[in-house]
C-alpha cells in the first residue's frame, strides 16, 4: 500500500525560522532571544479571573462572535483610547489569537487573482494565507538606513494596480520595532482614497509604543477605519501568548463577511478565558502601564549593548530590538544568527527570514520580553562582541 500523492497548497512553506532557531538554542544551551514571547508569567489576578469563570460554569460554547461582556469591554477600550465607536454586536469579533484573525480577514476578502500588497520585512503568516486564498503577494520593501526602517509610500503607491484588493500594514512593526506616525497614515489615505482597496492592520503590539509617542491605530482615523480590519492580541498585551485570544474590529459590512469565514474555520474561542479577560479589563492600568514596563526592558537591553560592536537601530515599539552586525562579521544573516547561537550562546532571528525572497541587510532581531535576569545573562555574552 502507498499513500496517494498530495499536491501541496503551500509548496514553498517549510519549518519556520523560529522553530529552527529555538531548536538550535536548546541544543547549544543558548539564551533564546529569538522567538517572540515572554519568559515571565502573567498577573495572578488574570489567572484568578479565568479560574473563577470556570467555577461559575462558563465552560460550554460561547456565542460565535465572542461573549457579550468581552465585546463590550473591547468596544469601551477602543472608544477610550482612539475615539472610535464600534458596535459590540456587529463590528467586533473575538478570535483564536491574532494569526487566526489575520488569516480569516484575508480569506474573507481575497479572491483568486487578487493582489495583496505586503510591506516587507513582514510577519510570516501573511503570505501563506494570501496563497491559500488564491491571491498574489505584491511585496514592497521598507527602506533601511542609519535612522532605521521606514515605509516608502511612493513605492507602495507604485505597487497598486487594478487588481489590488488588500493592503496590509503592521504597527508597531514586527520585526523592525518601528511605528507608523500621523504622516504615514495620511500618505496611506492618499493611496487608497477613491479606490476599493481594503486594509488589514496588524496592531498586536498596540500597547508597546515608547518615548511618549502615541499608537496611530487605524481605528482613530475614520477615512481608513471605514475600509479596515483592525487586529489586536490579548496574548501580547497580557503576557499569555499561549492562550491564543485576540480580536478584530471592522465596519459591519466587512465584519459580516469576516464572520462567515470565522464560523467555519474556528467557530468560537475558549469560553472561560473570554469571561476572565472581560473581568480583568475592568481595570485599564495593566495595558496603560505596558509602555513603561517594556520601555524599561528596552532601555536595559540597549544600555547593555552600548559598548559592543553592534549598531542599535531605533526601537520605537514592540518588544524587539534590531541590530546591525557588520562591524563584527560580513557573513549572511542566517549564518550569523546560527554562529551567535552556537558560539556566543544567544539566539536571534535573521531579519532576512521576514522577506519572501531573502534580502540581506546585515541585521538580526532580538526579543527583550524577558526577565531581567535573562537579559543580563544574554548581555554578558553579547557585550564581548
Q: What confidence tens digit (pLDDT) does each residue in 140-180 have? A: 999 999 889 999 999 999 999 999 999 999 999 999 999 99
Q: Could you tell me if 347 and 354 are in contact, meaning their C-beta atoms sit under 8 angstroms apart?
A: no
Question: At 362, is the pLDDT very low, low, confident or very high (cuts 50, 70, 90)?
Answer: very high
Mean pLDDT of 90-98: 98
Q: CA-to-CA distance for 94 and 248, rounded, in angstroms?
A: 7
Q: Give the pLDDT score at 94.
A: 98
Q: Give the pLDDT score at 146.
A: 81
Element containing residue 116 per DSSP (H, E)? strand 115-120
Question: At 358, is the pLDDT very low, low, confident or very high (cuts 50, 70, 90)?
Answer: confident
DSSP code string of 322-345: EEE-TTT--S-HHHHHHHIIIII-
Q: Give the pLDDT score at 258.
A: 98
Residue 328: all three cell numbers together: 563584527
Percent of the chain with pLDDT over 90: 94
DSSP code string of 41-74: ---HHHHHHHHHHHHTT--S---TT--HHHHHHH
Q: Give the pLDDT score at 382.
A: 97
Q: Is the pLDDT reported for residue 200 higher than 90?
A: yes
pLDDT (tens digit per residue) in 215-247:
999 999 999 999 999 999 999 999 999 999 999
What residues have CB less than 8 Å from 305, skipping those under 6 apart? 312, 321, 323, 379, 382, 383
pLDDT (tens digit per residue) in 333-348:
999 999 999 999 999 9
Beta bridge partners of 230: 201, 249
Question: At 17, is the pLDDT very low, low, confident or very high (cuts 50, 70, 90)?
Answer: confident
pLDDT (tens digit per residue) in 287-301:
999 999 999 999 999
Bridging pattern class, strands 346-347 and 31-32 = parallel
Q: Is the pLDDT reported for residue 1 higher than 80?
A: no
Q: Is the pLDDT reported for residue 16 higher than 90?
A: no
Q: Is the pLDDT reported for residue 121 higher than 90?
A: yes
What residues have CB less than 8 Å from 26, skipping those under 6 apart? 32
pLDDT (tens digit per residue) in 30-86:
999 998 999 999 999 999 999 999 999 999 999 999 999 999 999 999 999 999 999
Q: Give the pLDDT score at 48.
A: 98
User: Across 21-75, where does the E strand assignment appear?
Assistant: 31-32
Q: Could you tell me if 89 and 75 are in contact, meaning their C-beta atoms sit under 8 angstroms apart?
A: no
Q: Give the pLDDT score at 10.
A: 95
Mean pLDDT of 177-206: 98
Amino acid at each position: 500500500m502507498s499513500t496517494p500523492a498530495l499536491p501541496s497548497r503551500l509548496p514553498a512553506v517549510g519549518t519556520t525560522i523560529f522553530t529552527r532557531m529555538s531548536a538550535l538554542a536548546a541544543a547549544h544551551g543558548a539564551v533564546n532571544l529569538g522567538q517572540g514571547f515572554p519568559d515571565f508569567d502573567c498577573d495572578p489576578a488574570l489567572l484568578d479571573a479565568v479560574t473563577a469563570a470556570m467555577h461559575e460554569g462558563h465552560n460550554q460554547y460561547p456565542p460565535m462572535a465572542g461573549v457579550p461582556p468581552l465585546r463590550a469591554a473591547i468596544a469601551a477600550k477602543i472608544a477610550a483610547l482612539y475615539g472610535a465607536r464600534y458596535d459590540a454586536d456587529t463590528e467586533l469579533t473575538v478570535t483564536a489569537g491574532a494569526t487566526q484573525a489575520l488569516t480569516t480577514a484575508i480569506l474573507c476578502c481575497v479572491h483568486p487573482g487578487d493582489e495583496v500588497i505586503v510591506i516587507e520585512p513582514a510577519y510570516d503568516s501573511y503570505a501563506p494565507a494570501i496563497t491559500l486564498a488564491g491571491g498574489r503577494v505584491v511585496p514592497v520593501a521598507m527602506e533601511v538606513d542609519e535612522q532605521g526602517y521606514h515605509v516608502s509610500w511612493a513605492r507602495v503607491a507604485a505597487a497598486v494596480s487594478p487588481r489590488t484588493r488588500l493592503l496590509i500594514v503592521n504597527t508597531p512593526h514586527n520585526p523592525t520595532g518601528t511605528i507608523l506616525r500621523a504622516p504615514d497614515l495620511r500618505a496611506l489615505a492618499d493611496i487608497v482614497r477613491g479606490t476599493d482597496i481594503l486594509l488589514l492592520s496588524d496592531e498586536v503590539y498596540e500597547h508597546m509604543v515608547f518615548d511618549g509617542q502615541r499608537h496611530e491605530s487605524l481605528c482613530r482615523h475614520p477615512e481608513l477605519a471605514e475600509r479596515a480590519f483592525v487586529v489586536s492580541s490579548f496574548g501580547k498585551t497580557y503576557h499569555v501568548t499561549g492562550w491564543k485570544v485576540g480580536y478584530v474590529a471592522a465596519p459591519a459590512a466587512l465584519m459580516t463577511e469576516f464572520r462567515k469565514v470565522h464560523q467555519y474555520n474556528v467557530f468560537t474561542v475558549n469560553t472561560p478565558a473570554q469571561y476572565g479577560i472581560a473581568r480583568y479589563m475592568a481595570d485599564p492600568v495593566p495595558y496603560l502601564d505596558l509602555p513603561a514596563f517594556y520601555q524599561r526592558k528596552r532601555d536595559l537591553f540597549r544600555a547593555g549593548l552600548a559598548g559592543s560592536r553592534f549598531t542599535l537601530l531605533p526601537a520605537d515599539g514592540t518588544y524587539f530590538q534590531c541590530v546591525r552586525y557588520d562591524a563584527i562579521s560580513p557573513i549572511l544573516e542566517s549564518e550569523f544568527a546560527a554562529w551567535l547561537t552556537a558560539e556566543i550562546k544567544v539566539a536571534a532571528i535573521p531579519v532576512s527570514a521576514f522577506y519572501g525572497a531573502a534580502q540581506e541587510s546585515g541585521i538580526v532581531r532580538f526579543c527583550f520580553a524577558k526577565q531581567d535576569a535573562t537579559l543580563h545573562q544574554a548581555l554578558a555574552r553579547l557585550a564581548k562582541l
